Amino acid sequence: MMPAEAIVEARGVGKTYDGGVEALKDVSLALSRGRLNTLLGPSGCGKTTLLKIIAGLIPPSRGEVWVKGKKVDGPGPERAFVFQDFALLPWANVLRNVAFGLELRGMPKEQRDDLARKQIAEAGLSGFESSYPHQLSGGMRQRVGLARALAVDADIILMDEPFASVDEQTRRKFQEELLDLLRHKQKTVIFVTHSIEEATYLSDQIVLLSPRPGTVSKIIHPNIERGGRNPDEIRRDKNYLDVVDEIWQILKHYVV
């Protein structure tokens, strides 16, 4: 796969927090439309900070981010965020949580509930519409988080280590669903993870970040042939294993 048209661009982005901690330094990158882009790096490399800057939740200290040809100065309707800790309203049921993004946009209740029900069904959560988050497993909670992001029909889904708090089986199932989603909905996904295997398995493009202050250390295009093959075959693919090894050779220098 060749790099497609860039939908998100970072130009010389840097972030220094109030206490003087430099989280990011001169990050420039282009993320392609309709692809799954991963920000990968060790803990504290500023990958979540970079994601939140792209989301418009944190202003950069230096440089700028452009999304769909417009400079980012806050969150926008073309971006939706999936949180590591799910960020669900504990006092609201699944239906209201999934519809919450639409509720904030002022969509009438019936209309947004209809849309939310559709997303809930697609997320495999039918029958749980009136359950509360505390009654759901971690995996199901994250499905709610993802359904909420999909309900607002944004082009770009920003995911901050979305599978970090779910078990391995659920994680693998999620990964398949994510790939499926991409095939069918033409979404651009920007995905933060610290798992080399996850990044390699999922991504069209991997942005490898160095530890604090985070800079782009390498950009890798795994180019893994997925067509018609099952997950286990892909995980035994030579290309896949080579990429995992290549990333590990770089990352291991960062481990102290």
Partner 1 sequence: MQRKELIAKRRLVWQLISFALVFGLWELAGRWPISLAFPPFSKTFLALLRMTADGSLAKAYLSTAQPLVIGIVLCGIAGIGFGIGMGLSRTIEWFSLPVFIILQAAPMAAIIPLITYIYGIGLTSKVLAVVFLAAPVIVMNSYKGIRNTNPSLIQMCRSFLGTRRQEIIKIILPHAAALIFAGLRLGLAMGFIGIVIAELLITPTGIGDLITYHSSVADYPEMFAAIASIIAVAAFAIHGLQRLEHKLFPPEIRGSS
Which residues of the shown chain bind partner 1 in the complex (CB under 8 A)? 52, 55-57, 74-77, 79-81, 83, 85, 87, 89-91, 100-101, 103-105, 132, 134, 148, 152
**Shortest Å, Cβ 85 to partner 1:** 5
Q: Where are the alpha helices (DSSP H) in 105-237?
A: 109-122, 138-151, 168-185, 196-202, 231-236
Are 143 and 124 in contact by the 8 Å Cβ rule? The answer is yes
For residue 165, give both structure tokens: 């708090």
Neighbours of 1 (CB within 10 A): 11
CA-only gyration radius of the chain, Å: 18
Residue closer to partner 1 by CB (options 13, 102) is: 102
**Shortest Å, Cβ 242 to partner 1:** 36
**Shortest Å, Cβ 134 to partner 1:** 4
- Please give the DSSP secondary-structure letter assigned to residue 1: -
Looking at the DSSP bridge assignments, the partners of residue 65 are 10
Residue closer to partner 1 by CB (options 82, 243) is: 82
Residue closer to partner 1 by CB (options 116, 220) is: 116
**Shortest Å, Cβ 197 to partner 1:** 27
Residue closer to partner 1 by CB (options 142, 210) is: 142
